[in-house]
Amino acid sequence: MAGIVQEKILYLKVTCGRMIHKKEGVITHDFGGYEGTFLGIREKEGEFEGQKTLGIELKMKDTQSEEIAIIQFTKMALFSKGFFSCISKVDLDKPFSILVWGSDKNEKISFCGLKQEGYVYEGKRKTIEPDKSFPSYIEIPLNGKMERDWSAPLAAMDEIIKNINESRAVKIADDTAVDAPAEAAINEKDDLPF
């Protein structure tokens, strides 16, 4: 179709303390973070080694190149807990950075920090301080071994995603209403039921 431009999207996956893009099994991008403006967030189901997985997809636009990126990370992970414990302190209308680093004790673990221009904590500019009341997983005995119960942090993450998406939908609706000319109003009897 004429006039429709397909966005080029860079898919970045958080893994082993890095944010990478792979093409045909080869890492083409390897970052310690990403800076951009927020476009959207959603949960996505996947599969790994025959088991269902829950992931998060964060859509952002690079502040310099205008490139669109989808940052993917596992929902039941320390990186996700770090992200969600800070995101409520971020102004989603302004650019921010997502930082990723690895653990000294386990190479498979990734940690997350968020940074935004103008954020000050205890008189210093630094990464955004996590919400200390954000729930953590708990260890419970299951079939003779200790397993992680993620129900409390997952519920908190779901609430944050819902709140972000609802507030963004209201903002978009408000911006559209302000920008729409009065003569473009639709007559209610002509409005379609979808």
List, for residues 115-166, the tens digit of each pLDDT value. Answer: 998 776 666 667 899 999 999 999 999 888 999 999 999 999 999 999 999 9
Whether residue 138 contacts residue 152, with contact meaning beta carbons closer than 8 Å, is answered with yes
In this predicted structure, which of 7-11, 40-44, 130-134 has the lowest mean pLDDT?
7-11
Strand 9-15 to strand 68-74: parallel, antiparallel, or no bridges (unpaired)? parallel
Burial of 67 (C-beta count, 10 Å sphere; 0-12/13-18/19+): middle
pLDDT in tens, 82-112: 999 999 999 999 999 999 999 999 999 999 9
Instruction: Say what the pLDDT of residue 43 is.
Output: 95
CATH says 9-129 is which class? mainly beta
pLDDT in tens, 161-192: 999 999 988 776 666 544 443 333 333 333 33
HSE-CB of 66 using CA atoms within 13 angstroms: 1
Residue whose C-alpha is closest to residue 33's, from 92, 114, 98: 98
pTM of the model as a whole: 0.79
DSSP state of 186: P
Rounded Cα–Cα distance for residues 108 and 102 (Å): 8
Beta bridge partners of 30: 20
Instruction: Say what the pLDDT of residue 184 is.
Output: 36
Instruction: Say what the pLDDT of residue 66 is.
Output: 83
Residue whose C-alpha is closest to residue 166's, from 174, 177, 155: 174
Instruction: Say what the pLDDT of residue 53 is.
Output: 86
Domain ranges for the chain, please list them.
9-129
Residue whose C-alpha is closest to residue 72's, from 45, 108, 103: 45
